[in-house]
Structure formats: C-alpha cells, structure tokens
Amino acid sequence: MKSIKLRGVCAAVSGALLFGFGANAMADSTVDIVNALVSKGVLTEEEGNLLTKGREGEKLGQEKAMKTAGKIKISDVIDNATLYGDMRARYEFRNGEDTASNGEDRTRGRYKMLLGVKTEAGDFYSDLALSMGSGGRSDNATFGNGNNGANGKETVYVKRAMLGWKATDWLKVEAGRVANPLYTTSMVWDADLTFEGLVEKIDYKWGKVNLFGNFAQSQYRGDRQDYYNIDTASERKTNTLLAFQGGAKFDITDTVSAKAALTYTTYTSDNGTGTGAFVPGLGTTTTVGSTLGTNVTSTNDIRTIEIPAELGFKLANNMKLNVFGDYVVNLDGDDRFDAAVAAATAGTARNTIRAAGNDDKAWLVGVGLEQKQDKNPKKGDWSAKLWYQDVGVYALDPNAVDSDFMDSKVNLKGVVFKGEYLVRDNVFLNLAAGHATRKNDRLAATGAGDINLNLDSYNLYQLDVTYKF
C-alpha cells in the first residue's frame, strides 16, 4: 500500500510540476508541496530533491524576466508595441570625370542609425522612426565631418511619423510622414525618401491572385498662402504629388511566380518652388562646380506611366532566381523638352538643347539570385543582383532618383551590382558597385549629387556592415 500511495503522490507532484512549468506562482506551490511531503515522511529527502531539481533556478529566472519586463511600460490602450532599428557602418569611394578628363575622387567613412517603434490599438496603428541626415535621400553621417578635431555630434530627425487605420480586411489608410508605399525601383525612387500626406493601400486576394493598389497624395511643397485685395507677389504656391498604382502578384506554376504593376504619377503644380522651367546644362561645360542646368528641381511637365515587374523561379536548395525590370515614360516629355528650349538662353545653349532632342523614357532590366532558409533572415542567407539602367534627361523627377546609383542625376546610363551575406540572423554584410556614363553627350548629367563635376563617367563602391534589432 505504501508503494501504491507513494506512486500516487509522485504522480500528483509530477502533474503539478507539468501544470506549473511556465508560472512562477505554480512553481512556488510545487516546491511547498514537496517540502511538506518530505517533512511528513511521505517522501525521503532524496526523492524530494529529485522532484524539485531545477525548480529553484527556474523560479529565479522567471522572477528576473518579470522584473526586466516590468521596466518597459506602455499605455493600457495599446495592444502591441514593437521596438526596431538598425545601425550601419560604411566605407565608400566615389569617382567622377568630365569630358575634359577633370576628375574627382571622394572617399568617406559613413554611418547611420534608425530607431523606431510600431504600435497597434484595435483597428489603428502607428510607426514613429528617428534617423540621422537632414536630406530626404540620405540618412548617413560622415566620419570627421566639419572642422578639424571638432568631433561634432549628429542631429536626429523624424524620418517617419505615421498614423494608420485598418478600415477593412483589404484597405488601410495612412497619414503623416509615411514610408513610400509604391512597388518601384531605385531608378525612380530613392529608398530613403518618404511621402508626406495621405496614403491608401489595398491588398485583396482574388482566387489565386493577390491584387494590390497603392495611392498617394504627398505634399512636395505645402503651406499654401493666397492673398486677396492686396499685392499677391508674396503668395506661396504648393505642389502635390499624386500617385495611383494597381498591380497583381500570382503563381504561374508551383515554382514560378510573377508580380507587376502600373503606376500613374503627376504633380498638381508645374513648379511648386516658384522657379521657372527645368533646363538641363550643356555637355561641354567642365571644371569643378560646373552649372548642371537651371531650375533642376522643377517638376514642370512630369506625368509618368511606370511599369515595374518581376519573375521568380524557385530552384533547388532554397535558391531563387529573379528577373526584374522597370519602364517609365513621361507622357508630358515633349512639353518638358519644349519648355526647356524656350527657357534656355538664346544662342548656343538654346540651339544645343533643341538639337539634343527629347529623351523622356527610362528603363531598367536585371537578374538576381538568392538563397534563403526561411521567410525571416537567417545566418548564412545570401543574395546578389545585377542590373542595367538607362535614364533620359526628361524622363524622371530629378528630386527622387537614387542618390547612390546614379548620384542623384538623370541623363546617365550604367550597370549596378549588389551583394548581401548574413553573418548572423541580424548582421548583414553588403557590397555594392556601379559604373555609369553620360547618355546624351550634348547635355549635362543634371541633378544635385555628391560629385561636383559635369559627369561624363561615374563610379561608386560601397562596403556596409548593418546590425538590426
């Protein structure tokens, strides 16, 4: 009977141990029960120690975890909050030459920081992110920037401040400083740029096809000021970017997938900056600080159709081959060209710009190969992609093209390679390299970039280490 009783007690205690595995209060009860049974002589001290082995350490670990978790508090109205961010160190070398073989080499050590928090509360959600870099197309800071030995500290800016609402299962509405919602490429939009205004996102599953739509109303220049009954010379005009995108993602076979979209983009004002028409510089201009054009940030006569697309092929050993491309045509390219001719200085400049003709198209085609073990990044994952892009001088908004490839400028064509390897699940090693040449030699490679020459050729090499959390 004692043997049967002992087995019953052991079973009861074991059940208590299993039930209380993750709960600190239950861990206390289990230890108390075993100690009581030992003191009553039902269990020997050796049997008691065997049953409670590891429970004291587990109890201390649970208490420590609960104490640590208690240090970070959020409002009770918030259902979920996620802290995220990354830190990156970069070595970069840029080189450019003009038609007179004048050159500039620029070597920099750089770093960046991003810190953000996302929250959810019922149907509402938010994204607040802080980063460095006052410019929209770069979050980087440069080592040793400023006066010799100054060791100046960097300013932190608001990168995103977004409030979102899940209106339905398939519709989201976002307002504030919002991440770019468009499916696109860096040829058209620098990845660091954000939109300011309203964004609507549609994600709808129709059979085996995932339909998506992205719509944006972004203030390129806000704070409109209209005067009446007095002199209107001080009026402030505004400019709003309007983007409308529809697309689909679907599986063609078990191993082949496709994604494509059609995007229409326009601006509500020819130039919200109060300046005149965009006029590219001349290709013959040389020396440092060369004029690359007049009113190069103007968005007059830009109304584009963009078609980004990709095909994915699943291979053996978790590998995937991607073929991708992007095509853009400025529907008002003829008008942008005519406006540039009319606004150019009479004589050589005007005649050269007219003779150069209209180039209002941009295109990109590339291939990528990757090996990923899971949907989430894992140590040992890697990817590589190679593409060629060709950008006409009147095709795209010079304010939006990528600051790295190709130096925030249009009228360039070239090739880009990017590779990535994960040293750990959250540590990324990246290598990027690119080379470009002038597309139309009569005109300048126009835009506000980091190389202070009228580029005839351009090279960029970057090595990054990024730590994400």
Is 58 or 432 the better-scoring residue by pLDDT? 432
CA distance 358 to 350: 13
Q: How confident is the model at residue 217 (pLDDT cuts 50, 70, 90)?
A: very high
- Report the distance separating Cα 39 and Cα 246, nearest Å: 74
Mean of per-residue pLDDT scores for the chain: 89
Model confidence pLDDT, tens digit, residues 288-321: 887 799 999 899 999 999 999 999 999 999 999 9
- The better pLDDT of the pair 413, 18 is held by 413
Residues in CB range of 294: below 8 A, 6 or more apart:
276, 278, 279, 281, 343, 344
Give the C-alpha separation, 230 to 224, whole Å.
16
Alpha helical stretches, state H, 348-420: 348-356
pLDDT in tens, 438-458: 999 999 999 989 999 999 999
Residue indicated by tokens 């909050």: 81
pLDDT of residue 21: 40
Band (pLDDT 50/70/90 cuts) for residue 18 is: very low
Percentage of the chain beyond pLDDT 70 is 87
Neighbours of 375 (CB within 10 A): 6
pLDDT in tens, 257-279: 999 999 999 999 865 555 689 99
* pLDDT, tens digit (0-9, with 9 covering 90-100), for 351-366: 999 999 999 999 999 9
Q: Three-state SS for 206?
A: strand
- What SS3 class is residue 445? coil
**Tell me, what amino acid is at 459?**
N
Q: Range with the lowest mean pLDDT among 145-149, 194-198, 437-441?
A: 145-149
Tokens in use for 89?
């160190």
pLDDT at 69 (0 to 100):
56
Q: Name the residue with tokens 């109890």.
A: 59
Query: What pLDDT was estimated at residue 447?
Result: 92
Main-chain dihedrals φ then ψ at residue 98, nearest 5 degrees: -100, -175
Provide the pLDDT for residue 67: 59
Confidence (pTM): 0.84
Whether the Cβ atoms of residue 161 and residue 130 lie closer than 8 Å to each other: no
pLDDT recorded at residue 22: 44
Distance of CA 463 to the CA centre of its chain: 18
Average of pLDDT values for 107-133? 97
10 Å Cβ neighbour count for 39?
11
Q: Which is higher by pLDDT, 61 or 249? A: 249
pLDDT value at residue 103: 96
Mean pLDDT is lowest, of 61-65, 87-91, 95-99, 143-147, for: 61-65
The confidence band for 20, taking pLDDT boundaries of 50, 70 and 90, is: very low
pLDDT value for 62: 67
Q: Which residue has the higher pLDDT, 426 or 151?
A: 426
- Would you place residue 223 in the very low, low, confident or very high pLDDT band (cuts 50, 70, 90)? confident
- pLDDT the model gives residue 378: 97
Task: Read off the pLDDT of each residue in 104-111 and give the average, rounded to a whole number.
Answer: 96
pLDDT of residue 19: 41
Residues 152-184: tens digit of each pLDDT: 888 999 999 999 999 999 999 999 999 999 999
Confidence at residue 275, expressed as pLDDT on a 0 to 100 scale: 64
Residue 123 pLDDT > 50:
yes
3-state secondary structure of 415: strand
Q: Give backbone dihedrals phi and psi of 393, rounded to 5 degrees, phi first.
A: -65, -25
Model confidence at 330: pLDDT above 60: yes
Q: What is the DSSP letter of 236?
A: B
Q: Is the pLDDT of residue 185 over 60?
A: yes
